[in-house]
A and B are shown apart, each in its own frame.
Chain A
Amino acid sequence: MHRFANPARFLRLSAAVLPWSALAAAALIAAGLYFALFASPPDYQQGESVRIMYIHVPAAWMALFVYTVIAAASGVALVWKHPLAHVAAKAASPIGACFTFLALATGSLWGKPMWGTWWVWDARLTSVLILFFLYLGHMALMNAFEDSSRGERAAAVLALVGFVNVPIIHWSVNWWNTLHQPASIMRLGGPTIAPSMLLPLFLMALGFTAYFVALLILRMRAELVARKVRIARMARVHAPAEMLRPAPGGAA
């Protein structure tokens, strides 16, 4: 892990990984969409509306997965002070927030025809909504300080404190009487969904994961460049005025 502490090495490695994960994302999502929309059966109870599941469930899985990644990165950042861990947490947060929003919105669109209501305040929906607010708080805290490293460390603490919400979300449907259906995939007895539906589900889930990896790399790169820009701007402030004369025939 510490081999990747050097940003330059990370940039080289990520440049190699990025095209593959982007390609994998496109291919897996395309295949997933094909199976989700065309080559899978409608549910005998829910009809065609079950196709929303192929977006809703992978998005929800990603919402939890990304938060776990952020919590892990935050732990690494605070304990081992790995220089790229904060960058990873900062980059991942908006992606997780988007997936959480998608899970909530598509869930709502699925709930209206199936349950007759856009929303219900049961344990699962409420705890996912809390997860959404945790993401927003994490992003807000990151940007709330003049000294950006202070924001990163505060956000890392918040991410760890909020991690208690993740197992609550996962087990909420077992612990409480909820309208949201109980776990049908990750349970001890094995999945209770038909294989013809599991296939597009896993394709979409893997595709979303590859998408997350690609986007994470891009956002981490952007953050590292932003840091260089900040440092370069601060260096200009301290340089004597004559240094700031533009190069002959040059820009600005």
Chain B
Amino acid sequence: MRRFFLIVARELRIAFRQGGDASLAVGFFVLAAVLFPLGVGPEPNLLARIAGGVVFVTALLATMLSLERLFQADYEDGSLDLYALSPLPLEAVVLAKCGANWLLAGAPLLIAAPLLGILLHMDAHGLPTLIAAMLLATPTLSLVGAIGAALTIGARRGGVLLSLLVLPLYVPVLIFAVGAVDATLQDLSARPHLLALSGLLAAALPLAPFAAAGALRQALE
């Protein structure tokens, strides 16, 4: 358990020292979401209708950006080999790195999301659901994205390939997250959608590290 938190701490230290990819992800999130009013026009009703979708799609893309180099740097300098040899199982290492990634990228997204919602004229009573859905969705996005990151270590055009691989797997999360927000805005219960999101997270927590660790072991062979 101690080793697990040591890895999380290491990731955070490296990120703070180098100003890593994760903080750029939040910047991208905000910028991309801001492009929409500029693109579709500032009419409040139109923006309010697409606000939920825009927030989640840009959050999804931002998470993907932050994950690109999740394992790349460690693979290049040999730390990944050391992780593989350590007594901590590789699945736990993956979980630790996902946790760090979520703290660095997902949590800031959580904070930025309601602000963006307001910018996009989302109805105020949809905001709590927006936060709840983001809270459930962003860890799942980190976990599933880690599978893609592990598969594409050292690949040509790895970044674009990562997107192609990971986006189909992100779609259910997107559908339920936006569904939850839309349900609340239409005065329906968001509970089924949030439950589905929780289900996806509950499934991703054990399965994603397993798949990602398998992919990492192949990369190290």
Chain A bound to chain B: yes
Interface residues of A (CB under 8 A from B): 78, 126, 130, 133-134, 136-137, 140-141, 144-146, 150-151, 153-154, 157-158, 160-162, 165, 168
- Count residues of chain B with CB under 8 A from any CB of chain A: 23
| A137-B164 CB under 8 A given contacts A126-B171, A145-B155, A161-B147 | yes
Interface residues of chain A: helix, strand, loop or mixed (majority): helix
The 5 A-B pairs of least Cβ separation, nearest first, read A144-B155, A153-B218, A130-B168, A133-B168, A137-B165
B61 to chain A, nearest CB (A): 16
Interface assignment of B215: CB less than 8 Å from any CB of chain A = yes
Interface residues of B (CB under 8 A from A): 147, 151-152, 154-158, 161, 164-165, 167-169, 171-172, 175, 211, 214-215, 218-219, 221
| A158-B219 CB under 8 A given contacts A130-B171, A145-B156 | no
| Given A137-B168, A161-B169, 8 additional A-B pairs, CB 8 A | A130-B171, A140-B161, A141-B161, A144-B156, A150-B219, A153-B221, A154-B218, A157-B211
Residues of B within 8 A of A151 (CB): 155
A86 to chain B, nearest CB (A): 12
Can you name the residue of chain B whose Cβ is closest to the Cβ of A127?
Answer: B171
Residues of A within 8 A of B171 (CB): 126, 130
Question: Would A154 and B167 count as touching, CB distance under 8 A?
Answer: no
Question: Would A141 and B169 count as touching, CB distance under 8 A?
Answer: no
- Among A126, A146, A154, residue most surrounded by chain B Cβ atoms (within 10 Å): A154
Distance between Cα atoms of A130 and B164 in the complex (Å): 11
Can you name the residue of chain A whose Cβ is closest to the Cβ of B144?
Answer: A161
Residues of B within 8 A of A145 (CB): 154-156
Residues of B within 8 A of A160 (CB): 211
Question: Would B167 and A157 count as touching, CB distance under 8 A?
Answer: no
Distance between Cα atoms of A252 and B161 in the complex (Å): 38
A217 to chain B, nearest CB (A): 28
